[in-house]
Amino acid sequence: MHFKKIEEFDNLEMSYICDFSGGYISRNKNLFRELELSKLTQLILEKCVHGTPIFKLGNSGNKLLILSGIHGNELPSQIANVKLLNKLLFKDLNHTIYFIPFAAPKSSMNNERTFNEMDLNRSAHINGSLSNRIVQTVEDLGIDFVGDFHSTAYNANPGIESIFSSKSPTPESYLMANYISQDVGSEIIAFDFAGSSYKGAVEDVCNLKQIPAITCEVLCPFASVSEGTVEKSFNQMNSFLQYFGV
């Protein structure tokens, strides 16, 4: 994967996961109206038209991934991811941070949970799926730790603000979850072995590949943004980075 420097921002690089997932984020009014339209945010939205962009800040230390939008109708984490990238843009970082704010821009545009009728968090183990391409990118880039950020509704699974993790085969998944839980108060949902409950979650597939990963959820109705939910998701992301001293 080739990363290209963004001329407008000296320390920002980007590439694409794929070119078949693009969408116009601005058409999702519930999402778009919550974004602060900085120069960087506008660039992110422009890049989303052509596929799934991945952005890179820093060039040292651990390689960390902040991922959101695996479910296009889970909005707070996508907004928080853009907010975090804006915040860290000019910071002197001691680690390398990758950002995928909109995993499937087409799904985000349409406020849809699935991408081409496929649940990306049940198909990361299927060769060729969009989420599998994201996992493959994680491997190709040598990313060390993954934070996947979602939202959940009251009548959905898990239906509470929480952090999914597993104790095996990557114990650090649980250690990361425990740190974030103590920091921001999200409840830990820990499995003894990754993928034991269901197959195909990005988090589980990464953990099974010995890449420690977690899934963080905030409580918010699907396809909308409740008051305070962007901030809660942002705090989870920030805590994930703080675990590594960012």
CATH code for the domain in which residue 190 is found? 3.40.630.10
Mean pLDDT of the chain: 97
Rounded Cα distance, 100 and 193, in Å = 26
* Residue-level pLDDT at 151: 98
Residue 198 pLDDT level (bands cut at 50, 70, 90): confident
Provide the whole-model pTM.
Answer: 0.98
Residues ≥6 apart with Cβ < 8 Å to 175: none
Dihedral Cα 40, 46, 50, 55, nearest 10 deg: 0
Which tens digit of pLDDT belongs to each residue from 124-153? Answer: 999 999 999 999 999 999 999 999 999 999
Question: Domain of 191?
Answer: 4-242
Cis previous bond, 158, omega within 30: yes
Q: Please state the domain count of the chain.
A: 1
* Structure tokens belonging to residue 34: 């919550």
